[in-house]
Structure formats: structure tokens, C-alpha cells
A and B are shown apart, each in its own frame.
Chain A
Amino acid sequence: KAGVTQTPRYLIKTRGQQVTLSCSPISGHRSVSWYQQTPGQGLQFLFEYFSETQRNKGNFPGRFSGRQFSNSRSEMNVSTLELGDSALYLCASSLGFRRELAQETQYFGPGTRLLVL
């Protein structure tokens, strides 16, 4: 079974631009979460999607948005990029079938490394 895939793997943008990152979950997984990793802050939760609905959102500005499609693939978008948005963006998927999602194993992708100049 293929793992979580993320595209692109690396991206260089300039301040003010916008960017879209893509995540394809493991086949059959319905829940997708996004995390941002920076050296100073560690892994910070961005969003969680389940069956095309955003279940949870982290403490990030409105420039960060996301969505999930009917095939469970997810995208996140960052508009008006700032230097501080340079980070590794990780996506994780889980089955989404357990009544208690908190107890499901989440499988991470390799991440997209974004550099904002």
C-alpha cells in the first residue's frame, strides 16, 4: 500500500506570493491533518479534515486555508507569503473510521519544504 504522498517536495517562493500544497492520503483513509514544522516552534497543528469538512483549525492567520476533496486528497493554501512561513509542511492521514479519532494511528507524508525569500 502506498504511503502518504505530498507534492511538491520543495518550493521556493517570494514574499507576497501564494502557494498551494497537495497531500494524497493512504488509500482508504478519510481523515487528513496538516502540520507546520519550524525550528523554533516544533510541529504545530494547522487543520484537520474529515469527509471534506474541516473539523479543527489551529492557531494560524486566515492566510492559511485548506480543503479536502471527495477522494480524500487535501490541499492547503497560503496566501500573501511572509518570510516566517518558511517551514516544513507535513500532512498525516488516518482511517477516520473509529468513533474516537484521537486513538487512530496517523501516518505522515515526507513533507513539503517551503522557502520564502
Chain B
Amino acid sequence: ILNVEQSPQSLHVQEGDSTNFTCSFPSSNFYALHWYRWETAKSPEALFVMTLNGDEKKKGRISATLNTKEGYSYLYIKGSQPEDSATYLCAPGAGSSNTGKLIFGQGTTLQVKP
């Protein structure tokens, strides 16, 4: 059973603060790590799919890094805005290349105060 841990569970920051979250996962049989943003009453939105050790991805003010050898990924948000308020989920693939099955962490809920 894959154990995916995300920390912190929740985070309250002021507008303009930069923040980061952690996703820990078993490093064996790694194929990909997915990051999603899930705003209330909306569908989960894909942010990144990361596949290579040392991978870095960026989308606007959001970036992510990946360390497959030690089994963690960081998500960074630079200059948080109220619209960044959401739950951020990470999900490694389920240990096989030919399945799209994802194992989700419990998520980090970010609240950005104006």
C-alpha cells in the first residue's frame, strides 16, 4: 500500500506571502507524481506531472520540485493571492507504468487572507 503524506495539513497566510508544501511518497517503483489544485465547488485542476528526479516545473507563481531518490516533492507559491486559496493534492502513480491509478495524499488546504 502506497503511503502518501502531505504537510502541513492546512496553512493560513497573508496576501503576498510565499509558501511551500511537502509531499512524501515511497521512492520505490516511481513512475510519476501529479499535483492538483482543488478549489471549493470546482473540479480538481491538474497543475503538474513530474517524472524525472530533479524535475522542476513552473506555472505562473507556482513551481514544484521532485526528488525521487528520497521520495518527496515540494510545491512553492510565490506571492500568494486570495485566488490561490484551495486544497493542493499530490498523487504518485500506483507503482506501475501502465496504469493511470493515482494514490492521493490528504492534501494541504491553503487560505490566503487579503
Contacts from A to B (Cβ < 8 Å): 3-4, 31, 33, 35, 42-45, 48, 50, 55-56, 58, 90, 92, 94, 96, 99-111
CB distance from A26 to the nearest CB of B (A): 12
Verify B105–A42 contact, CB threshold 8 A. yes
- Give the dominant DSSP class at B's interface: loop
Partner of B89, one of A43, A55, A100, A109: A43
CB distance from A37 to the nearest CB of B (A): 9
Contacts of B88 in A (CB 8 A): none
Verify A101–B99 contact, CB threshold 8 A. yes
Given contacts A42-B104, A104-B49, whether A4 and B98 have CB atoms under 8 Å apart is no
Cα separation A101 to B94 with both chains bound (whole Å): 11
Given contacts A43-B89, A106-B34, A110-B43, whether A100 and B97 have CB atoms under 8 Å apart is yes
Cα separation A99 to B32 with both chains bound (whole Å): 13
Verify B98–A100 contact, CB threshold 8 A. yes
Residue of A nearest to B30 (CB): A102
Cα separation A42 to B34 with both chains bound (whole Å): 16
Contacts from B to A (Cβ < 8 Å): 31-32, 34, 36, 42-46, 49, 51, 89, 91, 93-94, 96-107
Given contacts A42-B106, A43-B89, whether A103 and B98 have CB atoms under 8 Å apart is no
Cα separation A8 to B98 with both chains bound (whole Å): 30
Verify B101–A56 contact, CB threshold 8 A. yes
Verify B107–A56 contact, CB threshold 8 A. no
CB distance from A84 to the nearest CB of B (A): 19
Query: What are 24 A-B pairs with beta-carbon distances under 8 A?
Result: A3-B43, A31-B100, A33-B100, A35-B102, A45-B101, A45-B102, A45-B103, A56-B99, A58-B101, A94-B100, A99-B97, A99-B98, A100-B97, A101-B100, A102-B32, A103-B51, A103-B97, A104-B49, A105-B34, A107-B43, A108-B44, A108-B45, A110-B42, A110-B43
